[in-house]
Amino acid sequence: MADFILYLTGIINNLGYWGILGTTGLEYACFPVSSELLLPFIGYSVYMGRLNLPLAVLSSTIGGVVGCSFCYGAGRFGRGVMDKIFVKRFSSIGQGINKAENYFINAGKQSVFFGRLMPIVRTYISFPAGMAKMNYLTFLGFSAAGALIWNTFLISLGYFMGEHWEQITILFENNKVGISLIVLMLIGIIWINKKKK
């Protein structure tokens, strides 16, 4: 896995914005790429003067939209094939999809937006959206907005942390549950306010 990450960061160093688009596309398409590592590295590259911050965020968001659209299509048109190829061979993917599916059922369409801000769920939320035949343009809007916020946040963190950007990965790896709970609390507050109105 470490060699794979080195390979991806090498792609970004060599291809710049096209490399960002491709690697974030893979991450959002459920390939084993950690955004908590990839995006701070992009921020570090901005810090080093290799990249422009707005263009880096834009490239990563476009890549994210392309990647999650692939998963949406797989969920909408190829659930049976997906189960045979991925879920049965990789138990972690199956568990991630089940978790995202339960979250989608409970939270509704807004879960596509908020799910982009939650570790694990953010990677797999496109599948249940596709399986539920959610309107694609609505899905695209929620996904792009959520991805923009997540990518901007982590790339900016990498930029401000500079040479210590790897600490962000450690922080997120050790606090996934806490981050998920914070997002769930925000969803609960928004849902309660809507009910009051």
Lowest average pLDDT, out of 54-68, 94-108, 116-130, goes to 94-108
* pLDDT classification of 63: cutoffs 50, 70, 90: very high
pLDDT tens digits for range 90-108: 555 566 566 666 656 666 6
| CA–CA separation, 165 and 163 (whole Å) | 6
Structural domain containing residue 115? 2-196
In single-letter form, the type of residue at position 39 comes to L
What's the confidence (pLDDT) of residue 178?
Answer: 60
For the cut 60, the answer to whether the pLDDT of residue 12 exceeds it is yes
Per-residue pLDDT tens digits for 162-179: 888 777 777 766 666 565
Total-model pTM? 0.73
Start-to-end Cα distance in the chain: 49
pLDDT band at 61 (very low <50, low <70, confident <90, very high): very high
> What was the pLDDT predicted at 197?
57
- Give the residue carrying structure tokens 């459920």: 30
Q: What is the pLDDT of residues 17-57, one digit of tens each?
A: 999 999 899 888 877 777 778 888 899 889 988 899 999 99
> What domain count does the chain have?
1
Q: What is the mean pLDDT of the chain?
A: 77
- Among 154, 173, 148, 146, which residue's Cα sits nearest to residue 43? 154
Task: Identify the CA nearest to 146 among candidates 113, 174, 173, 169.
Answer: 113
- Counting other chains too, the contacts that 183-188 makes at CB distance below 8 Å and 24 or more residues apart are 183/114, 183/117, 183/118, 184/118, 186/114, 187/107, 187/110, 187/111, 187/114
